[in-house]
Amino acid sequence: MVDTVVIKAEQIAGDFLQEQVKTSYQIIGKGITNQVCVVETESHKVVVRMNDKDTFPEFVKEKWCIEQAAAVGIPGPEVLSIGIVDETAFMIQAFVEGDNGLDSTVPKTDVWRKLGEYAKLIHSIQVKGYGGNLVDPVHGEFQSPSHAGSDGSWQGYVQYNINCLTEHDCLIELGVITQAESHRVRELFENLKREPFRFGLDHGDLSIKNAIVNQANRVILLDWNAEVNVVPHVTVARLMQYQMLGIEESPNVEELEAFMDGYGLSEEDLSVTRHFLLLRAFDNLRWAIDRSPDLIKPYAAFAKQVIDMIMD
């Protein structure tokens, strides 16, 4: 299987560079979504990221994000080409020399502080709309697809989750919340609807594993899975989730403080973030109940963890 992936990457890179391939290999374990290979010719070293042709809009979005980020001073890999060949969507990027943030000898608190600075810059990029689909790259407009119970807007998203909080709610049956807690959660979500949120661009997976630290100790940002959402809460909530789940690349208490310091956030800013995290946890659990039964148990456990944190 690996050989087939590498051969495909060699073909894509060779056709673009118009050069004979010298060496190539697949990167295992760093990318979850895409197949990632490094291909080297006489004068170029590139990264080829590949996926099913239906994911091509994600590469269009990522290219746009990398270019917008570079314009506000965030270093990232140069995107050389994107396209579709033989049912495979691809992106060719210049290879970035350095160590993955997980492996770098630079103190992780320093990397996290820099990621906090980058997050603030990312949130300053001009965008419109709400959601994860880039529908108009010229004007930076994003949309979220509508679904049963929601029109795809932020207000619709929150209202859908409010409407689900009934006395017959399956989250009560699952033991995630009690009837009394359901009433309290409804109040919290109603407050979120009234909150004067700022909507901005979110990287989608701002973590130390998606950073390269080069010889000059410069932090280069990789692997966008962007959306427009409420900032800074969406970014900080994801880091809190990683921390609560004990994911390897999650920041510890000191590293999360460094991130917050780099961004310029205080502990007082986190109360609304925790309520936003609860909204996401509930929404993801309801999605699992509808679409992915194998994820119900872990998603329910996390939602209960967030409830316990907030209700304490």
Span 173-207, pLDDT tens digits: 999 999 999 999 999 999 999 999 999 999 999 99
Q: How confident is the model at residue 48 (pLDDT cuts 50, 70, 90)?
A: very high
- Dihedral angle, C-alpha 7, 62, 44, 18, nearest 10 °: 60
For the chain, give me the number of helices (H) and strands (E)? 10, 13
Sequence ranges of the domains in the chain: 2-96, 100-311
Mean pLDDT throughout 70-74?
A: 98
Q: How far apart are CA 63 and CA 72, in angstroms?
A: 15
What is the rounded CA–CA span in Å between residue 98 and residue 249? 18
Rounded to whole angstroms, the Cα distance separating 223 from 203 reads 8
pLDDT reported for residue 32 = 61
The residue type of 197 is F
Helix 253-263 to helix 233-245 angle, to the nearest 10 degrees? 170
Query: 100-311 has which fold?
Result: Aminoglycoside 3'-phosphotransferase; Chain: A, domain 2 (3.90.1200)
Backbone torsions φ then ψ of 251, nearest 5 degrees: -75, 140
**Given this model, what pLDDT does residue 2 score?**
54
This prediction has a pTM of 0.92
Question: 14 versus 269: which is more confidently predicted?
Answer: 14
- Quote the CA–CA distance of 181 and 49 in Å, as a whole number: 45
% of residues, the chain, pLDDT over 90: 90
Percentage of the chain modeled with pLDDT above 70: 98
Q: What is the pLDDT of residue 157?
A: 95
**Topology (CATH) of 2-96:** Phosphorylase Kinase; domain 1 (3.30.200)
